[in-house]
Structure 1
Amino acid sequence: MADPVRYWLFKSEPSAFSIDDLAASPKQTALWDGVRNYQARNFLRDDVQTGDLVFFYHSREEPLGIVGTMKVVRAGYPDPTQFNPASKYYDAKSPPDAPRWIGVDVQLMQKFPAVVTRDQLAAHPKTASMLVMKRGMRLSIQPVTRSEWLHVHQLAGVRQ
């Protein structure tokens, strides 16, 4: 029996890669690369699977919040940017025969009509305790519960 779908939140700075960049990608699909935190890498390597559903979260630029949804269309594989000396994500200590960093391919499912902001998330008991809301939580890859997934869609005013 296949594992049930899991839910995630992936953070990206819009100046580096935004939901509009994903929408403009061929087949609205792209490699989610550049993850350079070991715990986030472990999620990508060990837990994120094809078919999992993901919130796209814009970080570090106002307004902070969830801007849409994606689906994982290819599970973890070596992030090619770690081997490219011209990439800002290059890691000279990551050999091709034992890669350190993992990426996944994601495909746009839905862009929300408006950002579901941190203030909106904080105002609702079903979303106020999301990991992204915890003080000091900087992980770019975070698990989300099904209840949180459903409630964020309600806040966005869209069907999932």
Structure 2
Amino acid sequence: MAYWLLKTEPDTFSIDTLKQQKVSCWEGVRNYQARNMMRDGMKVGDKAFIYHSSCKDVGVVGIAEVVKEAYPDHFQFDPESHYFDPKSAPDNPRWIMVDVAYRQHLNYVSLARIKANPALEEMPLVKRGNRLSIMPLTECQWLEIIAMSESKGR
């Protein structure tokens, strides 16, 4: 099993939305490096933190699980979609998505707390210049954030 961090803007799609839907496609990834991680790395059963970004309370808010591996993101073919890509073709799609299922809310772990934790200094999220929407985590990083959530500090 692998561990991931999935960034989302809660005004667009939040942990609460995922809880309500139970399972959702993780669509709209339009970065080749993030796409490759989904395509080549994400497997059924992998765990992912849901991370709210571009909001007042930036940080980890919950856990999802990958329940369907990479398949073509159908939004790339829809001219009415914000994620439309006219250079992508159905016989050779550029973009993919995975399906994730809601597993649980966590006590909020702020970005400030993550950055202040020496055990997380190698985490891609805190590295300068890393703005990917999908990031791999080590098991140690995963467990550290779980412990931080259980300690309930903001």
TM range (shorter): over 0.9
Match of 2:115 in 1: 122
Match of 2:14 in 1: 18
Pick one of 52, 57, 73 that aligns with 1:58.
52
Pick one of 133, 138, 148 that aligns with 1:140.
133
Distance in 1 (CA, whole Å) between partners of 2:142 and 2:120 is 9
Question: Aligned pairs, how many?
Answer: 151
Match of 2:73 in 1: 79
How far is the alpha carbon of 1:110 from its aligned partner? Answer: 1.0
Distance in 2 (CA, whole Å) between partners of 1:128 and 1:69 is 21
Structure 2: segments with no counterpart, 5+ residues: none
Equivalent position SS for 1:81: helix
Equivalent position SS for 2:91: coil
Distance in 1 (CA, whole Å) between partners of 2:113 and 2:128 is 16
Distance in 1 (CA, whole Å) between partners of 2:68 and 2:119 is 30
Distance in 2 (CA, whole Å) between partners of 1:107 and 1:126 is 28
Q: Deviations for 1:57-78, whole angstroms, at most 9, x for unmatched residues?
A: 1111121111111100000000
* Letter in structure 1 aligned against 2:80: A
Computed over aligned residues only, the root mean square deviation of the Cα atoms, in angstroms, reads 1.1
How far is the alpha carbon of 1:157 from its aligned partner? Answer: 0.5
Please report the TM-score for the alignment, with normalisation by the length of structure 2. 0.94
Distance in 2 (CA, whole Å) between partners of 1:58 and 1:39 is 20
Distance in 2 (CA, whole Å) between partners of 1:136 and 1:148 is 19
Please report the TM-score for the alignment, with normalisation by the length of structure 1. 0.91
Equivalent position SS for 2:64: strand
Match of 1:97 in 2: 91
